[in-house]
Amino acid sequence: MVSVVAAVVAALATCVASLRMQTEQGPAPEMSGKLRVADARMADTSKMFQWSETRLGAPMTASQACSVAWNFSTQSEWKERDPPVFPEAGIGARRRVAPIDGMEYQVFLPLGWGNNSLYPYMTTLYFHSHPERKTSVMNSGSLPRMLARNQSTSFDNRSCWCLDMNATAYVESGSAAEAYDAGASPVDLASPMADCTFADTFNGLVIMPQGWTGSETPGWSSERLGKAKAITKFVMEKFNGDADKVIVTGTAEGATGALEFAKAYKDLVSAVILTDAAGLAYTGGLEGVPVYVTGDGSQSNIASIDSLVVALKARASGVTRYARYVNAPSAADPGFAPGYGHSSYLFFLNREFWFNWAYQYTNTGGRSGWDMGPLNHIVMGRR
Ligand SMILES: *[C@@H]1O[C@H](CO)[C@@H](O)[C@H](O)[C@H]1NC(C)=O
Ligand SMILES: *[C@@H]1O[C@H](CO)[C@@H](O)[C@H](O)[C@H]1NC(C)=O
Ligand SMILES: *[C@@H]1O[C@H](CO)[C@@H](O)[C@H](O)[C@H]1NC(C)=O
Ligand SMILES: *[C@@H]1O[C@H](CO)[C@@H](O)[C@H](O)[C@H]1NC(C)=O
Ligand SMILES: *[C@@H]1O[C@H](CO)[C@@H](O)[C@H](O)[C@H]1NC(C)=O
């Protein structure tokens, strides 16, 4: 399919560790209160360190993040080392952990994580795009970057990322025949340009599998989707995931992965978010599933996303929403070709979309669908 995200310029083979000071890994600074890990037997591994889960001092305010100098480097995360593989997931942290079935992944646990099965966590499965296949690049933008308490990167020294663009969007249309209301003036969604405490407050599990690393573009094949499913089941069982609230999402090739996953395992998914899915067609298989589509209306490929929305609206049942932004930010990482809009950044950064939209949808029978077995108590109602 056509990718909205241009390929990273640098060659894959050169994954040179940077010698500069601004690097994700390094000696741990002196600080009290090491992060907790989920399994106490792994406690001593908290000596392992990555900046993304460490923030010195108070968080920046959004207005600080959007006004301070920050662009001290032009080095792409493509040239940085990937994060270390941790032996255990960390609470309030986005961590790369040991592969399952040969597939690498990162997992985020919320800061208030607990193992009380009466309060399971919404679970999001994030499929990366082709440029995001290197983990450090995946973490340089989009949802994975927001899941860091310190959002700095090799090219941006702010602990809080500010988008260089406000979210103004076309008005959605009540008509099934049109993707949006072309006759109405776009409106400012007044959504945030920065969220410095997103990772402190995001109250769900996020699973970010790595499908491929090379220059080939195999996409999210059914075999890869099966492995992502096995990882998701493992994480939900171990970390109190809510099998009735499983959201799948991704950008470009990742959106294709999310759509294919939802089609293959329709009863296991509670909502789907497809961002910058240029050239992606919908031909069936998602009756009843809520889908949110996002796109950058200034891009030449927007017509294909409009068509996707119209095709989804033609379903007999299932909510279709569309955030068709007038403009969307360029890639954060300087290694990406400029000029391609990333509507995913505007969307994922807005916690309202997660907790007012995505969270409201609930499946029934998710645990048996995911083959997780019954709980030893009866859930009488939900929070
Ligand atoms: C954020 O991480 C960077 C390294 O990427 C580090 O230099 C900086 O001091 C950290 N900022 C805070 C506020 O912790
Ligand atoms: C930093 O960004 C400013 C505008 O935000 C730009 O004028 C300047 O050239 C940039 N500097 C570098 C070194 O990229
Ligand atoms: C980031 O680096 C720039 C350029 O070196 C510097 O002016 C700025 O103060 C730094 N900002 C932060 C938040 O460290
Ligand atoms: C975004 O909107 C805010 C509030 O209207 C404004 O202060 C700010 O300058 C805008 N930023 C950009 C990049 O348009
Ligand atoms: C959470 O509880 C489940 C069910 O008792 C258990 O299988 C799992 O190992 C626990 N997770 C952790 C990290 O202790």
Residue 57 has pLDDT above 70, yes or no: yes
Cα 235 to averaged position of ligand 5 atoms, centre (Å): 10
**DSSP per position, 263-301:** HHTGGG-SEEEEES-TT----SS-TT--EEEEEETTSTT
Mean pLDDT on 159-172: 95
**Nearest C-alpha to atom 3 of ligand 5 is from which residue?**
238
Q: Is 3 within 8 Å of 253 (Cβ atoms)? A: yes
Looking at all shown ligands, the one closest to residue 191's CA atom is 4
- Closest by CA to 175, choosing from 340, 313, 350, 366, is 313
pLDDT of residue 26: 60
Cα 374 to averaged position of ligand 3 atoms, centre (Å): 52
pLDDT of residue 5: 39
**Nearest C-alpha to atom 3 of ligand 4 is from which residue?**
166
Mean pLDDT on 205-221: 96
pLDDT of residue 19: 36
Residue 153 has pLDDT above 50, yes or no: yes
pLDDT of residue 188: 96
Residue 262 has pLDDT above 90, yes or no: yes
- Closest by CA to 106, choosing from 162, 53, 159, 61, is 53
Phi, psi for residue 109 in degrees, rounded to 5? -110, 140
Mean pLDDT of the chain: 89
Measured CA to CA in angstroms, residue 253 lies from 3, 21, 269, 337 at distances of 7, 33, 19, 17
pLDDT of residue 101: 94
pLDDT of residue 13: 28
Place of tokens 């403009």: 327
pTM of the predicted model as reported, rounded to 2 decimal places: 0.89
Cα 113 to averaged position of ligand 5 atoms, centre (Å): 12
Task: Tell me how far apart the alpha carbons of residues 48 and 159 are, in angstroms, rounded to a whole number.
Answer: 20
Cα 176 to averaged position of ligand 3 atoms, centre (Å): 49
Mean pLDDT on 133-146: 97
Residue 127 has pLDDT above 60, yes or no: yes
Per-residue pLDDT tens over the stretch 286-343: 999 999 999 999 999 999 999 999 999 999 999 999 999 999 999 999 999 888 899 9
Question: Which uninterrupted H or E stretch holds 85?
Answer: strand 85-86
- For residue 119 and ligand 5, the question of a CB distance below 6 A is answered with no
Mean pLDDT on 26-45: 59
Q: How many CB atoms lie within 10 A of CB 212?
A: 17
pLDDT of residue 373: 83
Q: How many CB atoms lie within 10 A of CB 363?
A: 20
Q: Is 128 helix (H, G, I), strand (E, B) or coil?
A: coil
Cα 76 to averaged position of ligand 1 atoms, centre (Å): 17
Q: Which residues line ligand 1 (CB under 6 A)?
A: 22, 24, 51, 54-57, 150, 152, 159
Looking at all shown ligands, the one closest to residue 188's CA atom is 4
Task: Tell me how far apart the alpha carbons of residues 210 and 134 are, in angstroms, rounded to a whole number.
Answer: 8
Q: Which atom of ligand 1 is nearest to the CA of 51?
A: 2
Q: Is 329 within 8 Å of 341 (Cβ atoms)? A: yes
**Nearest C-alpha to atom 9 of ligand 4 is from which residue?**
166
Q: Which residues line ligand 4 (CB under 6 A)?
A: 164-166
pLDDT greater at residue 209 or residue 377: 209
* Best mutation site among 25, 49, 152, 196 for ligand 1 pocket (most ligand atoms within 8 Å of CB): 152
pLDDT of residue 48: 77
Q: Which atom of ligand 3 is nearest to the CA of 158?
A: 13
Residue 17 has pLDDT above 90, yes or no: no
Per-residue pLDDT tens over the stretch 102-115: 999 999 999 999 99
- For residue 157 and ligand 3, the question of a CB distance below 6 A is answered with yes
